[in-house]
Chains A and B, each alone.
Chain A
Amino acid sequence: DGGITQSPKYLFRKEGQNVTLSCEQNLNHDAMYWYRQDPGQGLRLIYYSQIVNDFQKGDIAEGYSVSREKKESFPLTVTSAQKNPTAFYLCASSMGGRENTEAFFGQGTRLTVV
């Protein structure tokens, strides 16, 4: 079955550590996105990539980094520079270009700083 997979579902991080969240899709989508969700604030865009080897900052990119070496994969690293990383992180993918199609979401990763 085609879909988008995030792992792990739950992640605990000590302060000062970097952690990487995985996102893989087998939908042959060009575009991929990372969102952060906090209670009462909806979804905020961290980074997005419209094609392999290219990505752009979203609205809250500070303290995060990404790579897009393969079409299927768009990992997100939460660095120690991110002051308040505890949140629910959602990865999504969609067809690129001018296609007015929907995005498909993974099941999310809940990151907690301990």
Chain B
Amino acid sequence: GNSVTQMEGPVTLSEEAFLTINCTYTATGYPSLFWYVQYPGEGLQLLLKATKADDKGSNKGFEATYRKETTSFHLEKGSVQVSDSAVYFCALRNPSYGNNRLAFGKGNQVVVIP
């Protein structure tokens, strides 16, 4: 089946530091991959996406590249701000294989300290 694995534990870092959140997936074929962000007390918002191998999604300074060879979609940002503090979820969708469900990782809490 389809599944997503995110690195364990919260991420705490200082303002202007470099952020990486790891995401790996298991799926048949070529799923679409997504990063969502959730601010406190709110729903999820799409941050970026990639629909085929080697695609790079980018938005608000965040980037992630769809790596088929390593089945990964790691999220990066070169210089974080306090306003980036949120929970980040990696997800995939694979409708070409009869499964239209979104599969989510467990999420990573990111705390940016001034």
Which A residues are within 8 Å of any B CB, using their own CB? 6, 31, 33, 35, 40-43, 45, 48, 50, 58, 90, 92, 94, 96-108, 110
By the criterion CB–CB under 8 Å, are B89 and A31 in contact? no
Among B16-24, B73-81, B98-106, the one that faces the other chain is: B98-106
By the criterion CB–CB under 8 Å, are A107 and B101 in contact? no
By the criterion CB–CB under 8 Å, are A92 and B107 in contact? no
By the criterion CB–CB under 8 Å, are B105 and A58 in contact? no
Sample (24) of A-B pairs whose CB atoms are under 8 Å apart: A35-B104, A42-B104, A42-B106, A43-B44, A43-B89, A43-B107, A45-B101, A45-B102, A48-B101, A90-B43, A94-B100, A94-B102, A96-B100, A101-B32, A102-B49, A103-B93, A104-B46, A105-B43, A105-B45, A106-B43, A107-B42, A107-B43, A108-B42, A110-B41
B34 at the binding interface (Cβ < 8 Å): yes
Which B residues are within 8 Å of any A CB, using their own CB? 31-32, 34, 36, 41-46, 49, 51, 89, 93, 95-96, 100-102, 104-107
Most buried by A among B46, B95, B104: B95
**B residues near A33, Cβ cutoff 8 Å:** 101-102
